[in-house]
Structure 1
Amino acid sequence: MSGDREAAGGAAHATAPDGDPPPLRLDGVTKQYAGGGGTVTALEDVSFTVERGEVTAVMGPSGSGKSTMLNMLGLLDDPTTGSVELLGEPVAGLSAAERTDVRRERVGFVFQDFHLIPTLSAVENVRLPTRFLDADYTDRAVDLLTRVGLGDRLRHTPDELSGGQKQRVAIARSLINEPDVLLADEPTGNLDRDTGEAVLGEINTIADGGVGVVAVTHDELVGEYADRTVELIDGKLHD
């Protein structure tokens, strides 16, 4: 664990039992797109493992391939070459419906712009990913919101919440299905430093429970709260 991460107040993270495969892994992934000026390589031979209980910050300038890498980890796109592995198994053969199920069950997403439904309360927003499931997840939604410090904002709509509170609702929503992995796209991008630190503290707490967290960001503050920081430059990953 890095000195910066310890200074930020993080606890030792939970680790997987010996022999358990990591929840997600990119193995030699290259992604190319055909453009008007020729082929564009967004990722080049990227190998990356999401470890349980670890917060990894993926940093790099605009256009470095961070969004493409996030799409690969989120099973939203396929590599040109290489493979994406879920719990040690390649996902290339999964149908679109199967990928949707896997994302719902295994992967949580947190977005820079929150993506909350403005007409729904905090509880309803958190419960939203479970709307097509048979069970009632209201109690879990309430518990998650309470855990992130919003027990007194359960019935508030997004326009009644601050930026930091909205991000906490988004974090709670990402955890409603107990995912193995949390993918965060610029989680502090719309927050001031104090609020960003509070949100990153919540993310560290999530990782302490054994969830693998990957935060794609420009913000150096995220690196201070991460266990590991890697750089993505021109589609190539550097530890």
Structure 2
Amino acid sequence: MTGDADADAGAAGVSDVVPPLRLAEVTKRYEGGGGTVTALSDVDFAVGTGEVVAVVGPSGSGKSTMLNLLGLLDDPTEGRVELHGEPVAGRSERERTDVRRETIGFVFQDFHLIPTLSAVENVRLPTAFLPADATDRAVDLLERVGLGERLEHTPDELSGGQKQRVAIARSLINEPDVLLADEPTGNLDRDTGVSVLEEVRAIAAGGVGVVAVTHDDLVTEYADRTVELVDGVLRDA
């Protein structure tokens, strides 16, 4: 009987953990010439510490809108975006920028690397206006993703998979709690995609929550959980 009680207490403890990032009953509408478009409808979503969540769905289903809200790049029409249980609404743009830099890392399908900068320079770029020199951390991150011998290479000297690894390293430079990835394997062949996703799993194992928006079934194989958006409605896949 005691064992059952302990198990129940443990389960309650897990459920009481506040996720680093959450959408709470979020609806997002856009007004256009053709009327009102509901991009998201009553979405409740959270990513846990160390969890990899894949978000799938057809084009136009609301995935990009959801990613923009999670990234604090847009505001919901209704509902709340929460960071560590605290609502984001009411914060100034400067406060949002600061908390975004400190809390959220971004990885894009097209890498978004600066072509004239080396791998190290690209990785440390998000820290450009901070007082501390992040070169050592940038080097360490590149070594972690297997690019220790490519530190001074510019993007045109790197393969697609290597560019994505630089982008992943860059997203981690400020030690974020959550990594948001938009089609992280979209421009990669399968073998390279597997290599990148193994790195994503390693990042999650270090305590970072990962949300990957994708059309690629390979990504779902590496996710702890997959959710599907259809016409703005979120459900378990």
Name the TM-score class by shorter chain. Answer: over 0.9
Report the Cα distance in structure 1 between the residues aligned to 2:167 and 2:22, rounded to whole angstroms.
24
Asked which structure has the greater CA Rg, the reply is 2
Select the structure that is richer in helix: 2
| CA deviation string 1:51-99 (max 9, x = no partner) | 0000000000100000000000000000000000011000001100000
Report the Cα distance in structure 1 between the residues aligned to 2:58 and 2:195, rounded to whole angstroms.
25
1:39 aligns with 2:32: no
Partner residue of 1:208? 205
1:132 aligns with 2:134: no
Which structure has more relative contact order (CA 8 Å, sep 6+)? It is: 1
Report the Cα distance in structure 1 between the residues aligned to 2:15 and 2:109, rounded to whole angstroms.
35
TM-score normalised to structure 2 length = 0.93
| CA deviation string 1:211-234 (max 9, x = no partner) | 000000000000000000000000
Report the Cα distance in structure 1 between the residues aligned to 2:218 and 2:144, rounded to whole angstroms.
23
Partner residue of 2:10? none
Partner residue of 1:230? 227
| CA deviation string 1:90-130 (max 9, x = no partner) | 00011000000011000000000000000000000000000
Q: Secondary structure at the match of 1:41?
A: strand
Letter in 1 for 2:109: Q
Q: What is the total number of aligned residue pairs between the two structures? A: 224
1:148 aligns with 2:145: yes
1:188 aligns with 2:174: no
Q: Shift of residue 35 of structure 1?
A: 1.2
1:108 aligns with 2:85: no
Report the Cα distance in structure 1 between the residues aligned to 2:15 and 2:26, rounded to whole angstroms.
26
| CA deviation string 1:21-59 (max 9, x = no partner) | 211000000000001111000000000011000000000
Could you list the runs of 4 or more consecutive aligned residues of structure 1 that deviate by over 6 angstroms after TM superposition?
none
User: Residue 51 of structure 1 is aligned with which of 26, 48, 53?
Assistant: 48
Letter in 2 for 1:196: G
User: Residue 74 of structure 1 is aligned with which of 71, 75, 94?
Assistant: 71
1:167 aligns with 2:142: no
- Name the stretch that deviates more: 16-25 or 68-77: 16-25
| CA deviation string 1:143-176 (max 9, x = no partner) | 0000000000000000000000000000000000
Q: Secondary structure at the match of 1:68?
A: helix
- Flag structure 1 segments of 5+ consecutive residues without an equivalent: 1-15
For the aligned residue pairs, the C-alpha RMSD in angstroms reads 1.2
The percentage of aligned residue pairs carrying the same residue is 80
1:92 aligns with 2:78: no
- Flag structure 2 segments of 5+ consecutive residues without an equivalent: 1-12
